[in-house]
Amino acid sequence: MTDMIYLDHHATTPVDKRVLETMLPFFSEKFGNATSKQHRFGWEANDAVERARKQVAALIGAGSKDIVFTSGATEANNLAIKGVARAAEGAERSRGTRDHIVTIATEHTSVLDPVASLAKRGWRTTVLPVPASGVVDVNVVADAITERTALVSVMAANNEIGVLQPIRELAAAAHARGAWLHTDAVQIAGKASFDVEALDVDLASITAHKIYGPKGVGALYVRRKGRDVTVAAEIGGGGHERGMRSGTLNVPGIVGFGRAAEIARDEMHEEAGRVGGLRDRLLDGLWAKTDGMTVNGSMHARLPGNLNVSFDGVDGEALLLSLDDVAVSSGAACTQAEPSHVLTALGLTTDRALASLRFGVGRSTTAEEIDYAVTKVSEVVKRLRQRNLVGR
């Protein structure tokens, strides 16, 4: 096999051809601004956006009016965290003093960085540890929530180790103290069951490019039913998206997001079964051909296409560079020799964290590609270990 094998679907996914076909007219003949109310071009664009809003909402069990389009999940996470904080600062008289936020150590940096910025503004912040499984203890989170907590933010499925968190129980713990629950649902939406009503979450961040849609478009779910969650805008200048996110809407991207969400909803269960089977084939093959390997995070509560493993006695940078025709990733920025914060939070040493690989199996992955990857990884690991022995 001479072509590059792509096993990094947690980083991004290729745009589905069906999605691209749906988007193309909105770059040319259907080019209107969705907020132009005076003519057919604007009406047509607005109708397409609202249709996509319904498609995205349906993917996560939401109402279409609860979907706020953004430039991606990073903006959605920032809007959720900073927006709730800003709203809480302006509503102390009605809700009491709410100046505390709770999250966990394995969150994406687009959650951890906004939380850190709140700390600089005087907010009380709690970043909780996780056990080796990566699954947070609900009781630990509940104990950290106080009457002053405004928001609890916990990722539904981790972007590195694929671990699923007990979101329903965490939401209940937050609501018991009058706090809201935000979840970064980027990795789970469209890949496994995720329903905002069933889980009773208040805010959820999602994005298109993880589900075979375009890059540069995402959404924040903001609950109105039962609890009218208040989020202050971070971007002003037009009052778009219920006043929460101003700016001309990316109509082609939003249309593509809607179509990708529709396809994911229709095909998710069948695809999850196939992808999960390939992931297990990958794991079984690596176990059979490679010793000194450890799986990072729980295998019992995990995304079907995710596998994160580390290897004893292997230099992480050399490992990635040697996998020249298999596209995978490491939790570490190996050029800077920095271990993944997610893996170190699980208790991994720096060396083991650096010698880790994240595999993301996706829609186009084949059994032949999995078998090739198994052989390639096992051969590279053995060669690097032999080189280390000779070097000694």
Q: Strands 67-70, 218-222: parallel, antiparallel or unpaired by DSSP?
A: antiparallel
For residue 207, the cross-strand partners are 218
CA distance 61 to 261: 12
Exposed, middle or buried by CB within 10 Å (0-12, 13-18, 19+), for 20?
A: middle
> H helices then E strands: how many in the chain?
13, 12
CA distance 38 to 189: 36
Q: Is 215 helix (H, G, I), strand (E, B) or coil?
A: coil
| Identified catalytic residue from 104, 128, 334, 370 | 334
CA distance 386 to 162: 31
CA distance 264 to 259: 9
Q: DSSP letter at 6?
A: E
Respond yes or no: is residue 253 known to be catalytic: no
Cα separation values, 93 from 87, 89, 124, 199, 392, Å:
12, 9, 19, 29, 68
Q: Are 189 and 209 in contact (CB under 8 A)?
A: no
CA distance 96 to 98: 6
Q: DSSP letter at 329?
A: B
**Could you tell me the two tokens for 51?**
């249709």
CA distance 349 to 354: 9
CA distance 61 to 59: 6
Please identify every residue annotated as catalytic.
334
